[in-house]
Amino acid sequence: MRLIVTVVAAVLALAGCAPAPGRVSLRPSSPTASEAMPTGATTPGTPRAPSPTPSATRVLAGKVIVVDPGHNGGNFNHPRQIAQKVDAGGFQKACNTTGTAAQGVTESSLNWAIAQKLAQRFRAAGAKVVLTRTDDQGVGPCIDKRGKTAKNNNADLLISIHSDGAHSSGHGFHVILPKPVRGYTDATAGPSARLGACIRDSLVTQGLTTSTYVGRDGLHPRSDMGTLNNAGAPAVMMELGNMHNTKDFALLTSPNGQTKIVDGLVKGAEAFLR
């Protein structure tokens, strides 16, 4: 049975963003309440995001979306705290990591800047947005708490924002999908695969390139991601580009590049929820 579920999830991941035959709600009937960073790192600019389209407003209005800006600016100074083990989906994993950095820009600050624009767009379309952290100076939260933010807020979906730190020869984005993990993602792995395919297709439409160094066609299923395993809702983790690749870094840090990324994420979420 487990093999069948895994095969179904893989087929969904490769099938693209096709509409589901009918929306299957994963929400309960009533709501419930890495590399070391260099010192002196800077935060990318945060220009105003464009207004949502009328279709996005119709689809996203009233939805609950968790936006998770990966890592945190204070993690580097608290190695013991972020090394503490937490439940990552039936196994133990470090609470958090520092994230990568390039050219004086930390991943956490880049994730935060993009997440702020994304949250602004979702809110402008009428969605309720819950961020897993409120600034880029804190520590954590741990990966299990980040995921459970979706479950605890009865969320329709979770998008975790990250930027990769691979070898400089590799470039492009990839979407990390949760594999079926018994007791954790049994009901969410399939919908998460479709969410990931919708976002992948949308980012490609915006002109972004899928990863040349990991995954297949921009999708990378994994069973070891504590945030995704604990979400209790359709959830994906975005590695929006490789910060160590010159072209990816320029895209990730430029206002125009960030606008393309946010457009792709919003339209991908809209296509999934439609």
Active site amino acids: 239
3-class SS of residue 193: helix
Comparing C-alpha atoms, which of 66, 49, 9, 17 is closest to residue 233? 66
Amino acid at 247: K
Rounded Cα distance, 243 and 239, in Å: 10
The residues, ordered by sequence, that sit 6+ positions from 192 with a Cβ below 8 Å of its Cβ are 177, 178, 185, 228, 234, 235, 236
Rounded Cα distance, 187 and 26, in Å: 7
3-class SS of residue 203: helix
Question: What does the DSSP 8-state code read for residue 263?
Answer: H
Question: What does the DSSP 8-state code read for residue 42?
Answer: B
Rounded Cα distance, 171 and 207, in Å: 14
| 75 phi, psi to nearest 5 deg | -60, -40
Question: What does the DSSP 8-state code read for residue 85?
Answer: E
